[in-house]
Amino acid sequence: MGVKKHPTYKTMEPIYEGKAKRLFTTDDPNVLRMEYKDSATAFNGVKKEDFENKGRFNKAITLIIYRMLESKGVKTHLVDDVDDINLLVKKVSIMPLEVIVRNVAAGSFSKRMGVTEGTAFKKPIVEFSYKDDSLGDPFINDDYAREMGAASEEECAYIKSVALLINETLKEFFLTANLRLIDFKIEFGRLAEDPSVIVLADEISPDTCRLWDVTTGKKMDKDRFRQGLGGFMEAYDEVLSRLQK
């Protein structure tokens, strides 16, 4: 798949390759090109496989969601669309925090707390993990975040309030696609041009959200891959077409 010309960038050096994305510099020092790969990983990279079109689905879903969030006043790293698998994003330094918001018990919450998957919470839960694969992304709180130099107390409070706003906005948005937002993970970054500004960064896709069909309860997210349920890309395709309507 070729990269189309875009007025604001020339493809330059690859600077980072993660599990699901690659980053390239552009001729603007504050803008990067983010390429979505076709690989799926789970269990900290132990399970890994390539799926045709996965990058295309996740890029398209992230773009729709980011544009929607921007329209609600959430500051993000998004600059512009490029093509099927690429976005232009502001250069940020990713904060070493995984911010998880949960509306319904699932995944590691159910496992850790012994609460049946599908149990709805009275209010959303926000939790932080310290982003470090070698430590297994340990669960932390705002005191840990401060002492690890990840974020100040004020920044943690800000991030939590933005995460809750994103949750309310996303819940409503996914409901219009007959999808129930169970939980999701987001990341934040400090702008390279002004590190005091914190913006939403990284993807929001069925790789990073749990989405269940409202009517049938069918899982429409990466749990299909984690749990070997089949119909993995069919579910992503379905999520994208529902969000495009």
Chain contacts with ligand UDP (rule: CB under 6 A)? 98, 100, 106-109, 137, 183-185, 208-210, 222
**What is the nearest approach in angstroms of ligand UDP to the Cβ of residue 108?**
4
Q: Among residues 84 and 137, whose Cβ is nearest to ligand UDP? A: 137
**What is the nearest approach in angstroms of ligand UDP to the Cβ of residue 154?**
25
Q: Among residues 90 and 185, whose Cβ is nearest to ligand UDP? A: 185
Structural contact between residues 16 and 108, judged by C-beta atoms closer than 8 angstroms: no
User: Cβ–Cβ contacts within 10 Å for residue 210, how many?
Assistant: 23
DSSP label at residue 60: H
Looking at 37-147, which runs of residues are DSSP E strands?
39-42, 47-50, 78-83, 86-90, 92-94, 97-104, 120-130, 139-140
**What is the nearest approach in angstroms of ligand UDP to the Cβ of residue 202?**
9
Q: Among residues 31 and 59, whose Cβ is nearest to ligand UDP? A: 59
Q: Among residues 80 and 137, whose Cβ is nearest to ligand UDP? A: 137
Query: How far is the C-alpha of 70 from the C-alpha of 79, rounded, in Å?
Result: 11
**What is the nearest approach in angstroms of ligand UDP to the Cβ of residue 207?**
6
Q: What angle do CA 207, 208, 210 make, to 5 degrees?
A: 90
